[in-house]
């Protein structure tokens, strides 16, 4: 049986579409079976999203600018999390570009009573830990029940991940540098999707920093 390969997602090849006034979006990846998607959202200065309830959850990484809700502000280079049932509105004073990994969707809401709050993660407050030679990581968020987690990973120049198989899937957003596998090179600002069963090895010539959103785990291959 043929091995499953990773998929390179070239963000600049996907068109922006209007979402609401002053907000545009690009759907980068989706899995209708699990109602998950990765979406890039661009907010103009002064843009707002009216109060809504999350039916499912959302993990976001702010690439540029900052966005705010009733529970705080998520600034460039940091991560926000909206749990299932979270009710909030969103504002953006000076504009922002945000990557969101969404499970489910949203519905209109008028009352926040009893709803779980959104969360903000300041990545500068999370220490790097050694994962393996040349690779460090910052665990950001996890859901033990669904075996999902978000991790910042930093590769030193020349670092490698040996051949392994994904048991579950993984979405990678390259923030700095580039890394490569058998499907090709993924450069900063682009994504790589490793589906369940994907077998590959990873290398980086000049170093890279990536955000990884992982479901499940990996098995090392001989």
- Give the model's confidence band at 3: pLDDT under 50 very low, under 70 low, under 90 confident, else very high: confident
Cβ–Cβ < 8 Å for 56, 37: no
pTM: 0.96
Q: What is the pLDDT of residues 10-51, one digit of tens each?
A: 999 999 999 999 999 999 999 999 999 999 999 999 999 999
Work out the percent of the chain whose per-residue pLDDT is above 70: 99
Question: If you average pLDDT over every residue of the chain, what do you get?
Answer: 97
pLDDT above 70: residue 97: yes
Q: Please give the average per-residue pLDDT across 117-124, as a whole number.
A: 98
Cβ–Cβ < 8 Å for 171, 193: yes
pLDDT above 60: residue 1: no
Domains of the chain: 7-122 (2.60.120.10), 124-220 (2.60.120.10)
Residues 6+ apart with CB under 8 A from 33: none
């Amino acid at each position: 049986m043929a091995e499953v390969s990773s998929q390179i997602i070239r963000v600049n090849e996907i068109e922006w579409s209007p979402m609401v006034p002053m907000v545009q979006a690009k759907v980068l990846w989706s899995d209708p079976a699990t109602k998950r998607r990765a979406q890039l959202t661009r907010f103009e200065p002064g843009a707002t999203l009216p109060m809504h309830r999350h039916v499912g959850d959302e993990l976001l990484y702010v690439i540029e600018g900052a966005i705010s809700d009733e529970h705080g502000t998520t600034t460039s280079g940091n991560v926000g999390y909206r749990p299932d049932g979270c009710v909030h509105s969103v504002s953006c004073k000076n504009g922002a570009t945000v990557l969101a990994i969404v499970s489910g969707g949203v519905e209109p809401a008028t009352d926040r009573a009893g709803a779980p709050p959104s969360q903000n993660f300041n990545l500068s407050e999370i220490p790097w830990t050694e994962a393996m030679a040349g690779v460090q990581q910052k665990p950001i968020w996890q859901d033990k029940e669904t075996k999902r987690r978000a991790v910042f990973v930093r590769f030193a120049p020349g670092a490698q991940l040996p051949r392994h198989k994904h048991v579950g899937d993984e979405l990678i957003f390259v923030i700095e540098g580039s890394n490569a596998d058998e499907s090709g090179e993924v450069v900063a600002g682009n994504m790589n999707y490793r589906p369940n069963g994907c077998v590959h090895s990873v290398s980086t010539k000049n170093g890279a920093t990536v955000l990884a959103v992982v479901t499940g785990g990996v098995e090392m291959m001989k």
